[in-house]
Amino acid sequence: MRIVGGKYRSRLLAEFAGEDVRPTSDRAREALFNILYTRVVGARVLDLFAGSGALGIESLSRGAKEVVFNDLSKDSLAILKKNLTALKIPVNGDEAKVKQGDYLACLELATQPFDLIFIDPPYRLECGKTALEKIAQRGLLTENGVAVYERDRVFEGEIEGLEKYDERKYGKAYLTFFRRAKNEN
């Protein structure tokens, strides 16, 4: 796994052994950031199920101002910290804030909205919709903010307060894009 763009382009990231953890593929990540390229520079980003940190680190590489990395797994956070250290990004410095905890606790404790939120839970867990509902309920997207939910199938249903405005398929992954509903402040 490598960084596909920006100042850390082509740098390799440490990743998980085995099949238990499924990072976003380089191809899907490159496509995602091609879609979001105008929104990343200067952005405040939340990588809610950070894993190795690939999505958040890609954001920093492309000019994000700050990324909050959250994961429940100590193993994931160890790999994330290894990746940040290898790139000389201070852990819990101005650019990268690392938190260990449940995704709902992270969303509940957030004190300001984000420009980008990446929701990439293990496919076997059905918690992405709950995360989106909490994001809408707490107003955690800025006016022009985007939440991206990655899963292994098409997103069905609606989220009160959010509007699904795009969905793309890359290999096995579906990337579903949400923004604040137009009638929301």
CATH of the domain at 95: 3.40.50.150
Neighbours of 113 (CB within 10 A): 17
- Per-residue pLDDT in tens (0 to 9) along the chain, 185 residues: 889 899 999 899 988 764 455 567 778 889 999 999 999 999 999 999 999 999 999 999 999 999 999 999 999 999 999 999 999 999 999 999 999 999 999 999 999 999 999 999 988 888 999 999 999 999 999 999 999 999 999 999 999 999 999 999 998 899 999 999 987 44
The model's pTM is 0.94
- 12 lies in a domain? no
- 173 lies in a domain? yes
- 48 lies in a domain? yes
Q: What are the tens digits of pLDDT across the range 104-135?
A: 999 999 999 999 999 999 888 889 999 999 99
Look-up: residue for tokens 């520079």?
Answer: 41
- 145 lies in a domain? yes
Q: Which of 138, 117, 123, 108 is nearest to 20 (CA)?
A: 123
- 1 lies in a domain? no
- 16 lies in a domain? no
- 13 lies in a domain? no
- 102 lies in a domain? yes
- Structural domains counted in the chain: 1
Tell me the C-alpha to C-alpha distance, in Å, between residue 114 and each of 28, 47, 173: 22, 10, 23
User: Which domain covers residue 124, as residue numbers?
Assistant: 26-180
